[in-house]
């Protein structure tokens, strides 16, 4: 490979494509839904500040570069999921190539070249190959919205490569762009400083001051973006308990790095550490690894850097800052996994190299055979894991098969079944979720929504009320409550609920439309027109507010404007005859 440097990139790309061949048709699910099909800011690339200002309370919030990449996907192929998967895979392959280039250059440094000799290029290829096809990376690649992880990793690796090559401007620009991709990028200036001091020895203050200044980019984005699922104010989840729980989570990550089974896309049911016995063993394991890292940094810095890489990148999400949404997530191991793989590959190579009595050629052959076997097994596991993403039912059924007490999996599977018209199946899963977590706000909301569709309005109001006790600032619950109360004839209370929902989420076009309908029925026509107009503005793809606004404008004698909105309603809902009939009547009267 030293004589044919192009062979390694071809091998890496080919292996990555083969491992993810079955990943292109998995549907949007869970956090994908609000960040892609439910995200109006990705529908236009121009003006550029629209996709660069992602909506709040979504995975893309505070991550403008991720949102922009989704807008590029939308411009090229709308909501066809294959394009989004393809770009994710391209980013993963790019990350593999960057990791290969970084490791290759690092192993050629004076500190390491005497130890690895001519094996450097081969070892770099082995590390990048195993990392690329490892099943633990599937969540980051196949779960579309986890592109956040892919983009952050790309810019982190590019920053370090810029440091390794002495390309100061590239390193600083890449670091700034990474800060606009995901908050974990905060550790990159520290990691770059460690890399420089351990391997390079010569980068000046300008580089590191420039990298540190990119923290202002992240600080600005964080300050401008509400993060309702992160903080210290949640009952039962303070920083100490979260940190204690993370000890077991990190050990779990390490086990999956060495034996990637079973893999789960959602760990909502991960138990919190409550007593010393819950975290004593993982604390001991990590204490040993932490001490080993510090000792290695002092005695063998190149090996210590791998431990630093692992712990530093995990630190923002796996230390003491609580996340109500996810205690554990396999995607957090996307980049830390590279350190584990490198440690195993380099350690195995060093061990084999000590077998002096065995000739060099058999040792090399043994390494190649082992690499091929391990890479094939990992690639097969990745291919098989991607099959679990083939449908929404398959994804959540897989979670429940592995973690049957996961209330959120029941809720998400129930929601999908409800959308498919399987009322009995949906009710069963929502009920199961409430058996596991009686106060779960999402379960109460979803069951309430289902009961409204069945006409069981009083029961629905009861579940909406329970949901709001746990989560009073959820706009969709207030919206649902407004629907139920309106159907019960409680118009004033329904109007109040819609107004709360719109205060919490002004971009809810359906809530604006429903509020307009109630105001119109109450004889407050001017207010109704205002709400319908706002519904059209925030969500121009909803046909009903176009129709309502069109009929209201027609009554005011504003025929041209009315025709435009009625035509939009018919275009958006072409099979609905009442819309078409009203449009034809207005056209006749206007002649």
- pLDDT block averages, 10 residues each, the chain of length 591: 75 98 95 94 93 91 97 97 98 98 93 81 96 98 98 98 96 98 97 95 86 97 74 60 94 98 96 93 97 96 96 89 78 98 94 74 85 97 97 97 97 96 96 96 96 96 96 95 97 97 94 97 95 94 95 93 94 92 89 69
Structure-token match 């439910």, residue found: 38
- Which tokens belong to 60? 């893309």
- The pLDDT assigned to 227 comes to 62
Which residues, in sequence order, are CB contacts of 209 under 8 Å at separation 6+?
Answer: none
In this prediction, residue 589 carries a pLDDT of 86
Closest Cα partner for 191 from 288, 326, 316? Answer: 316
The DSSP secondary-structure symbol of 43 reads: S
Tell me what pLDDT residue 201 has.
78
CATH superfamily of the 405-505 domain: Tetratricopeptide repeat domain (1.25.40.10)
Domain boundaries, the chain: 405-505
Encode 432-478 in three state secondary structure.
Answer: HHHHHCCCCHHHHHHHHHHHHHCCCHHHHHHHHHHHHHHCCCCHHHH
Q: What share of the chain is helix, strand, coil (3-state, %, to 5)?
A: 75, 0, 25
Yes or no: say if 313 and 191 are a contact pair by the CB < 8 Å rule.
yes
Quote the CA–CA distance of 168 and 38 in Å, as a whole number. 39
Determine which helix (DSSP H) or strand (DSSP E) holds 589, and give its type and residue range. Answer: helix 577-590
Q: Name 23's Cβ contacts closer than 8 Å, sequence gap at least 6.
A: 85, 89, 138, 141, 142, 386, 389
> Which pTM value belongs to this model?
0.90
CA–CA–CA angle 251, 252, 258 (5° rounding): 90
Query: Cα 322 from chain centroid?
Result: 17
Alpha carbon distance 427, 446 (integer Å): 9
Question: What DSSP string describes 245-293?
Answer: HHHHHHHHHHHHHHS--S--S--TTPPPP-SHHHHHHHHHHHHHHHHHH
Spatial distance between the Cα atoms of 110 and 200, rounded to a whole number of angstroms: 9
Angle at 340 between CA 334 and CA 343, to 5 degrees: 145
């Amino acid at each position: 490979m030293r004589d044919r440097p192009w062979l390694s990139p071809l091998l890496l790309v080919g292996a990555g494509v083969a491992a993810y061949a079955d990943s292109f048709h998995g549907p949007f699910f869970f956090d994908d839904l609000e960040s892609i099909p439910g995200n109006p800011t990705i529908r236009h690339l121009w003006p550029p500040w629209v996709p660069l200002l992602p909506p709040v309370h979504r995975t893309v919030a505070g991550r403008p570069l991720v949102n922009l990449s989704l807008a590029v996907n939308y411009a090229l192929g709308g909501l066809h999921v294959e394009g989004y998967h393809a770009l994710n895979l391209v980013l993963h392959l790019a990350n593999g190539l960057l990791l290969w280039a970084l490791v290759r250059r690092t192993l050629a440094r004076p500190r390491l070249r005497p130890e690895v000799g001519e094996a450097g290029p081969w070892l770099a290829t082995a590390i990048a190959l195993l990392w690329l096809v490892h099943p633990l990376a599937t969540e980051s690649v196949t779960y579309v919205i986890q592109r956040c992880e892919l983009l952050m990793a790309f810019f982190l690796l590019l920053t370090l490569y810029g440091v390794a090559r002495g390309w100061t401007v590239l390193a600083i620009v890449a670091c700034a762009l990474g800060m606009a991709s995901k908050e974990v990028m905060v550790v990159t200036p520290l990691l770059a400083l460690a890399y420089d001091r351990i391997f390079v020895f010569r980068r000046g203050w300008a580089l590191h001051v420039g990298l540190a200044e990119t923290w202002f980019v992240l600080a600005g984005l964080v300050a401008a973006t509400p993060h309702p699922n992160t903080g210290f104010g949640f009952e039962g989840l303070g920083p100490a308990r979260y940190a204690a729980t993370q000890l077991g989570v990190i050990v779990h990550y390490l086990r999956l790095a060495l034996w990637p089974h079973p893999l789960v896309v959602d760990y909502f049911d991960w138990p919190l550490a409550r007593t010393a016995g819950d975290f004593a063993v993982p604390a001991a394991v990590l204490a040993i690894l932490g001490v080993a890292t510090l000792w290695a940094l002092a005695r063998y810095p190149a090996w210590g850097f791998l431990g630093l890489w692992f712990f530093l990148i995990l630190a923002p999400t796996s230390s003491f800052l609580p996340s109500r949404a996810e205690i554990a997530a396999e995607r957090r191991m996307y980049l830390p996994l590279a350190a584990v793989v490198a440690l195993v590959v380099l350690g195995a190579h060093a061990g084999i190299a000590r077998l002096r009595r065995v000739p060099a050629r058999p040792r090399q052959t043994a390494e190649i055979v082992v690499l091929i076997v391990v890479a094939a097994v990992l690639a097969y596991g990745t291919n098989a894991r991607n099959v679990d993403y083939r449908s929404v039912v398959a994804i959540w059924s897989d979670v429940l098969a592995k973690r049957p007490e996961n209330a959120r999996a029941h809720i998400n599977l129930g929601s999908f079944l409800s959308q498919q018209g399987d009322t009995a199946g949906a009710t069963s899963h929502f009920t199961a979720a409430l058996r596991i977590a009686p106060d779960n706000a999402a379960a109460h909301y979803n069951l309430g929504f289902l009961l409204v569709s069945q006409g069981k309005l009083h029961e629905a109001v009861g579940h909406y009320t329970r949901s709001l006790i746990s989560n009073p600032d959820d706009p969709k619950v207030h919206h649902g409550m407004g629907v139920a109360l309106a159907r019960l004839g409680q118009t004033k209370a329904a109007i109040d609920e819609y107004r709360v929902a719109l205060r919490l989420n002004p971009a809810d076009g359906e809530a604006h439309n429903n509020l307009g309908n109630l105001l119109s029925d109450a004889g407050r026509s001017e207010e109704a027109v205002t709400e319908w107009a706002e519904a059209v503005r925030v969500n121009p793809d909803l046909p009903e507010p176009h129709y309502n606004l069109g009929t209201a404008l027609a009554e005011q004698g504003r025929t041209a404007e009315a025709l435009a909105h009625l035509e939009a309603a018919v275009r958006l809902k072409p099979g609905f005859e009442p819309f078409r009939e009203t449009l034809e009547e207005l056209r006749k009267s206007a002649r």
